[in-house]
Amino acid sequence: MSDRVFGIVGVLLAIGYALAALTIEESFLSDAVGPKAFPLIIAALLGISSAVIALRPDPEPHWPALGRLAEIFGAVVVMILYAEMLPIAGFVLATVFAAAYLAWRLGSKPVEALLTGIGTSVGIYSVFHLLLGLSLARGPWGF
C-alpha cells in the first residue's frame, strides 16, 4: 500500500514537474536543445519509474506507531524554530535548547538532557568559534 501511494505521489510529482518545465520561458538566444528538453526527459523518467513502483509494490515497510511519528514531527518543528531563532537568540542559547530537546526525546533524564545541551553548545562554540574562528550566529549578547 505504501508503495502504491508513493508511486502515485511520484507520478503526480512528475506531471507537476513537466508542467512547470513547459512554462519555462525560452530565451531568444537559445542553443539547439533549449532549457526545456532535459527537464522533460527527467520528468518522463520520474513518471515511468513512479508508475512501475505503484504497479509492482515492495512488501510494506515497517511504519512507526503514531506516537513515534509525532516524535519526528516534534523534532522537525524544533529544528525549524532553531533555524528561525538562530539569528535572534544567538548561537549558544538556541543550541542549548535544541540539543537539550533532542537529548531529552532520545531518552535522557531532564537534567542529563540540559547538561548535554549546554555541553554541546559550549563545546561547539569553543571549538568552532574560539579555536577555529568560524562565524556563528550572534545574538543580542554577542554569542
Residues within window 38-97 making contact with another protein, judged by CB under 8 A: 38-39, 42-43, 45-46, 48-50, 52-53, 56, 58, 61-64, 68-69, 71-72, 75-76, 79-80, 82-84, 86-87, 91, 95
Least distance (Å) between residue 112 CB and another protein: 8
Does 26 bind another protein (CB under 8 A)? Our answer is: yes
DSSP letter assigned to residue 28: S
Kindly tell me which residue out of 12, 22, 24, 126 binds another protein, with binding defined by CB under 8 A: 24
Q: Where are the beta strands (DSSP E) in the chain?
A: none
49: Cβ–Cβ under 8 A, 6 or more apart, which residues?
Answer: 10
Residue where the block lists cell 531563532: 85
Does 118 bind another protein (CB under 8 A)? Our answer is: no
Does 135 bind another protein (CB under 8 A)? Our answer is: yes
Kindly tell me which residue out of 89, 92, 93, 103 binds another protein, with binding defined by CB under 8 A: 103
Radius of gyration of the chain (CA): 23
Give the count of beta carbons closer than 10 Å to the beta carbon of residue 15.
14
Output the nine-digit C-alpha cell for 31. Answer: 542553443
For another protein, the closer CB: 12 or 83: 83
For another protein, the closer CB: 12 or 48: 48
CB 108 within 8 A of CB 61: no
Output the nine-digit C-alpha cell for 14. Answer: 512528475
Least distance (Å) between residue 141 CB and another protein: 18
